[in-house]
C-alpha cells in the first residue's frame, strides 16, 4: 500500500528530527567502543554510514520537496 503525500511528509519529518539523531548517537557510540582509527579511516566510515542510513528511506523522501500532487490546482 502506497503512502499518501502527506503521510510521506510526516514520516520524513519524523525520520529527520527523531530517527537521524538517534542513528548518529548510535553510530558514534559504536565507533567509540573500538580503538580510535586513523582520521581517513574514520572519515570513510562516517561517510559510508552517512549514506547508508538514507537508503531504506529513499521511497519516503522521493518527491517531498515538490508540490502536493493531490492538491487541487488553481488554474487562472
- For 13-61, the pLDDT digits (tens) are 999 999 999 999 998 898 888 888 888 988 898 899 989 988 988 888 8
Q: DSSP letter at 76?
A: -
Q: Is the pLDDT of residue 73 over 90?
A: no
* pLDDT confidence of residue 15: 92
Whole-angstrom distance, CA of residue 71 vs CA of residue 65 = 14
The reported pTM is 0.74
Please name which of 26, 25, 28, 24 lies closest in space to residue 42, comparing C-alpha atoms. 28
Amino acid at each position: 500500500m502506497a503512502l499518501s503525500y502527506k503521510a510521506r511528509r510526516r514520516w520524513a519529518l519524523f525520520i529527520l528530527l527523531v530517527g537521524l539523531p538517534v542513528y548518529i548517537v548510535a553510530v558514534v557510540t559504536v565507533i567509540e567502543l573500538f580503538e580510535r582509527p586513523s582520521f581517513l579511516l574514520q572519515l570513510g566510515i562516517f561517510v559510508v554510514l552517512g549514506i547508508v542510513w538514507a537508503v531504506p528511506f529513499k521511497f519516503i523522501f522521493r518527491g517531498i520537496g515538490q508540490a502536493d500532487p493531490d492538491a487541487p490546482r488553481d488554474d487562472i
